[in-house]
A and B are shown apart, each in its own frame.
Chain A
């Protein structure tokens, strides 16, 4: 399963995660995140999260809240019961997510990578 060499120094690595990792459940209750935290605490490995990934994760939450509100709207049309099926507040949800994600990244001692300033023409 592993494609790492036996002698690779995982303890020194930089770990960069993509937005899809957040979509799979990157929160403090996740077993994988706890294992990762334990690993980061035991070693000098460092978790790095691009600010682009952070904003994409927030945007994904916005999309999910919007989807949920659309479905709630369908239920509301069917039932006419606005009291029981009130919509979720997007901005409140996003603010809470930003806060909890920032706290988790701080807990993991993660480094936030700024927008890249690499010379694009070198890559082209």
Chain B
């Protein structure tokens, strides 16, 4: 017990001296004890494994050189060097969004390249089903609601989506507005078609398709290339 108190007193003393210095993660005001403990956890983790460490924090002010330079601060890199840890093993991300947007993690629907080969949306849906479901569940209702607020009405929308089951009961896009002109909608529509073809669909109605039919040949959207077949057994 006595040894514990000696260690605690010593650690506190060191932290106190570091706070007075002040090197990051301590702020110039001396605040940052919790950040110091978190940083020591990262250092300890780096010592215990060989893998790279992605450190995610929205507080770049406390951890980075500056707001414009999102590299770990020199004080922190120095801490790593002192411990014999290659500083490039610890990488900083300013948000979880930034981390999950890394190419390896994968955005389910990359923006189509102009003139490039068409995407196989069925394949994207199969490979990244979880991601696509997440996107549809979280973003589709908001996206369509925003469209509606922007005077591009979306009618009769009922979307029921969960991790296990994805069902579009009724989905109607009103063609009075140029809904498909936005890039987001252009990339979303074929995905929806693929989703409806793959998952159970009770009714799929899009007046926008009719509008596409009315276009001169050669101006087809990716939606036209996706078969609207009956739901495949899952």
Q: Which residues of A contact B (CB under 8 A)?
A: 1-4, 8-21, 23-24, 26, 29-39, 41, 48, 50, 52-53, 56, 113, 115-118, 120-124
A-B CB contact pairs (8 Å), 30 listed = A1-B98, A4-B91, A4-B102, A8-B52, A12-B52, A14-B51, A14-B52, A14-B53, A15-B53, A15-B56, A16-B45, A16-B54, A16-B56, A17-B56, A18-B56, A24-B58, A31-B138, A34-B131, A34-B133, A35-B134, A36-B105, A37-B130, A50-B41, A50-B42, A52-B37, A115-B41, A117-B44, A118-B43, A120-B10, A120-B14
Residues from chain B with Cβ under 8 Å of A14 in the complex: 45, 49, 51-54
**Provided the pairs A21-B96, A23-B58, A32-B96 are in contact, do residues A118 and B53 lie with their beta carbons within 8 angstroms?**
no
A34 to B100, CA, bound (A): 10
Q: By the criterion CB–CB under 8 Å, are A18 and B58 in contact?
A: yes
Q: By the criterion CB–CB under 8 Å, are B40 and A120 in contact?
A: yes
Interface size on B, residues (CB 8 A): 53
| Contact flags B24-61 to A (C-beta < 8 A → 1, else 0) | 00000000001001101111110101011111111100
Q: By the criterion CB–CB under 8 Å, are B49 and A113 in contact?
A: no
List B201-227 residues whose CB lies under 8 Å from chain A: none
A2's nearest neighbour on chain B, judged by CB, is B102
Residues from chain A with Cβ under 8 Å of B52 in the complex: 8-10, 12-14
Q: Which residues of B contact A (CB under 8 A)?
A: 10-11, 14-15, 17-18, 34, 37-38, 40-45, 47, 49, 51-59, 63, 70, 79, 82-83, 91, 95-106, 128, 130-131, 133-135, 137-139
Q: By the criterion CB–CB under 8 Å, are A18 and B55 in contact?
A: yes
Q: By the criterion CB–CB under 8 Å, are B91 and A21 in contact?
A: no
Q: By the criterion CB–CB under 8 Å, are A118 and B131 in contact?
A: no
A39 to B96, CA, bound (A): 13
Q: In the assembled complex, how far is the CB of residue B231 from the closest CB belonging to chain A, in whole angstroms?
A: 23
A31's nearest neighbour on chain B, judged by CB, is B138
A34 to B105, CA, bound (A): 12
A2 to B94, CA, bound (A): 11
B56's nearest neighbour on chain A, judged by CB, is A17
Q: By the criterion CB–CB under 8 Å, are B96 and A10 in contact?
A: no
Partner of B34, one of A12, A15, A56: A56
Q: By the criterion CB–CB under 8 Å, are B83 and A10 in contact?
A: no
A69 to B101, CA, bound (A): 37
Q: In the assembled complex, how far is the CB of residue B126 from the closest CB belonging to chain A, in whole angstroms?
A: 14
Residues from chain B with Cβ under 8 Å of A120 in the complex: 10-11, 14-15, 18, 40
A13 to B128, CA, bound (A): 20
A101 to B134, CA, bound (A): 19
Q: By the criterion CB–CB under 8 Å, are A31 and B134 in contact?
A: yes
Q: By the criterion CB–CB under 8 Å, are A2 and B103 in contact?
A: yes
Residues from chain A with Cβ under 8 Å of B91 in the complex: 3-4
**Provided the pairs A10-B104, A21-B57, A39-B100 are in contact, do residues A50 and B37 lie with their beta carbons within 8 angstroms?**
yes
Q: In the assembled complex, how far is the CB of residue B159 from the closest CB belonging to chain A, in whole angstroms?
A: 15
